[in-house]
Amino acid sequence: MHVDNLSDWSHDHVFDVGNRAAERGTRMVMWITAATMVVEIVAGWWFNSMALLADGWHMSSHAVAIGLSAFAYAAARRYAHDPSFAFGTWKIEVLGGFASAIFLLGVAALMVTGSVERIFSPQPIHYREAIVIAVLGLVVNIVCAFILGDAHEHGHDHHDHVHDHAHDHGHGHDRGHGHDRGHDLNLRSAYLHVLADAATSLLAIVALAGGWLYGWAWLDPVMGIVGATLVGIWAKGLIIDTGRVLLDREMDHPLVEEIRAAVETGPDNAGTRITDLHVWRVGKAAYSCAISVVTHDPGLTPAQLRERLAIHEEIVHTTIEIQLCPNRDA
C-alpha cells in the first residue's frame, strides 16, 4: 500500500492582489452606504414614507453586510500565515457572508411588519421630498455597484494572469475549467446586495411617484413588502451559497467526476478504481481531495496519479492511498 500526501498549497491562494482590491472597494462602499442610510431613514421618518424607510433599513443591512465583508477580508489577510489554519483563512470571508445573510432575514421580517402596519393605518406622505431622497439612494447604489464591479474585474484579471502563467510553466494543456474559477463569494455577496438595494430604491421611487401623481397611497406599503421579498430572496440565496462551502458540500461539483475520470481512465489503467473520494473547497478556486484507490497495477504510485490530476490546477492539496489487489477478479 502506498500513501502519499502531496500539496502545492500556499497561503497566497487565500489573500492575493484581487482580495486587496476587493477589501478597498468594500470599505469605501461601506462608508458611502452608511452615510446614505442615515439620510434615508431620517427622511423616511420625517416625510412619512414606508417605502423610503424600507429602502433605508435595507441600506442599513447593506452597510452591515459590506462592513462584514470588509472585516472578513482584513481578518483573512491578518491571519493568512497563521499555521493554526490548516487550509488558510478564506472561510472567514464566507462566514462573514453567511452572518450578513442571517441578519438580512431579520431585516426583511421587520420591513414586512412595518409595511403591513401602514396598509391598515395609512399616514400622510410628503411625496416630493421623499422622491428626492429615494433618487439619491439609487444614485449611491449605482456608484457602489461600479466600485465593487471594478474590484471584481481587478481580481478576475489577476487570477487569469496567474492561471495563464501556470499553463505556460507547468501543465501545458488546453483544457478549460469554467466551474467556479476565481469565484469570490464574499465580493459576490456584496455586489448582489448592492444590486438588490438598487432594485429596492427603484421600487420606492415607483411607489412614491404613483402616490404623488395618482393618489395611490397604498402603493407605498405594498412596494415596501415587495422590497422585503427581494431582500429575503437575496438572503436565502446567500445562505445556500455560503452554507454549501461552510458545510463542505462539494461532492456534486463537476470536479469530482473529473477526478474520478482522470484516475480510473488513465492511459495505462490496469483495473484501477476509486473506492473512497472526498473533495472540499479550501479557497475561492482551490480544492483539496483525499483519494483511496484499489489497483491491479503493482507499479502504480501516488506520483503517477497526481500527474494525471495535474490538468486540474484548482486541486492544491492531494492525499492518495493505493491498495494493490493482485487478483483481477477481486
Give the domain 12-246 fold.
Alpha-lytic protease prodomain-like (1.20.1510)
Range 87-101 average pLDDT: 83
Determine contact, residues 224/114, Cβ cutoff 8 Å.
yes
| Predicted local distance difference test score (pLDDT) of residue 114 | 79
Q: Look at 176 and 41; give whichever has higher pLDDT.
A: 41
According to DSSP, residue 177 is labeled: -
| Predicted local distance difference test score (pLDDT) of residue 269 | 60
Block residue for cell numbers 495505462 = 268
Residue 21: how many other CB atoms lie within 10 Å: 20
Average pLDDT for the chain: 77
Range 225-252 average pLDDT: 87
- Percent of the chain at pLDDT above 70? 79
Q: How confident is the model at residue 57 (pLDDT cuts 50, 70, 90)?
A: confident
CA gap 125, 43 in Å, rounded: 11
Contacts of 37 (CB under 8 A, 6+ apart): 56, 59, 60, 62, 63
Nine-digit cell string for 279 = 473533495
Determine contact, residues 299/272, Cβ cutoff 8 Å.
no
Give the domain 252-324 fold.
Alpha-Beta Plaits (3.30.70)
CA gap 153, 273 in Å, rounded: 41
Range 321-330 average pLDDT: 73
Q: Look at 241 and 328; give whichever has higher pLDDT.
A: 241
Express each pLDDT in 122-158 by its tens digit: 777 777 777 887 788 788 888 888 888 776 565 544 4
Q: For the chain, what are the domain ranges?
A: 12-246, 252-324
Residues in the chain: 330
Q: Global pTM?
A: 0.70
Express each pLDDT in 186-213 by its tens digit: 787 777 778 777 877 788 888 888 888 8
CA gap 115, 173 in Å, rounded: 57
